[in-house]
Amino acid sequence: MPIDLDKFKHAYEKWVEESLPDYRAGNMKEIVKKYPFIVSTDVPWTPYQGRPSNQTFALVTSGGLYLKGSQPPFDTVSIHGDTSFREIPKTVRQEDLGIAHAHYDHSLAEQDINIIFPIKRFIELEKEGIIGKVAETHYSFSYVNDVVTLVTQTIPKFISRIKAEGVAILFLVPV
């Protein structure tokens, strides 16, 4: 059964209206308990086929990374979150990255970004021939509550970008 986005949108709008006072007060535990999570029962899982040594890999993190000085930080104030994504080049250095995500402790990631974005580990796997290629572009999201906008607008753009680069495998690092 496909996800009914209209039904979710109605439940989500009600959740926003009821949760906004708690959100503004910083009572995240309370609003998360009431969030109208989507439970999908029709995900078209496909068994992995192929050899990692012949595939192009890209990283996706939900850690809220952005390029300081050239990309805007994610919106960390809105109850809706930020439905956009940031493109992160393979050649990125830790000092080039900022973190804009209000719902986790950044201290370990600030010491070693590979905790939430293991780009150096993937480059090592590529050099060892374990994986075929590390894509030139990787992606970062932040927290998102507005699933309707994410699914109808952001994800189609994201999929178009990864297909254009020939990415076969996405490695998701949820934060």
Whole-number Å distance between alpha carbons of 69 and 97: 9
Residue 159 phi, psi dihedral angles, 5° rounding: -60, -40
Specify whether the CB–CB gap between 132 and 18 falls below 8 A: no
pLDDT at 16: 95
Mean of all residue pLDDT scores within the chain? 93
Residue type, 66: Y
Whole-number Å distance between alpha carbons of 21 and 46: 42
> What value does the mean pLDDT take over residues 81-88?
97
The pTM of the full predicted model, rounded to 2 decimals, is 0.90
> What value does the mean pLDDT take over residues 11-35?
92
State what percent of residues in the chain have pLDDT above 90.
82
Confidence of residue 48 (pLDDT cuts 50, 70, 90): confident
DSSP at 144:
B
DSSP at 91:
T
Phi-psi region of 11 (alpha: psi -120 to 50; beta: other; left: phi over 0): alpha
Class of residue 25 by CB neighbours under 10 A (exposed 0-12, middle 13-18, buried 19+): exposed
pLDDT at 94: 95
> What value does the mean pLDDT take over residues 76-100?
96
pLDDT at 50: 87
Q: How far is CA 97 from CA 27, 68, 92, in A?
A: 29, 6, 8
pLDDT at 1: 45
> What value does the mean pLDDT take over residues 148-170?
95
pLDDT tens track for 117-147: 999 999 999 999 999 999 999 999 999 999 9
Q: In the structure encoding, which two tokens stand for residue 167, read together?
A: 């990415």
Whole-number Å distance between alpha carbons of 137 and 92: 10
Name the residue among 139, 133, 135 with its Cα closest to residue 116: 139
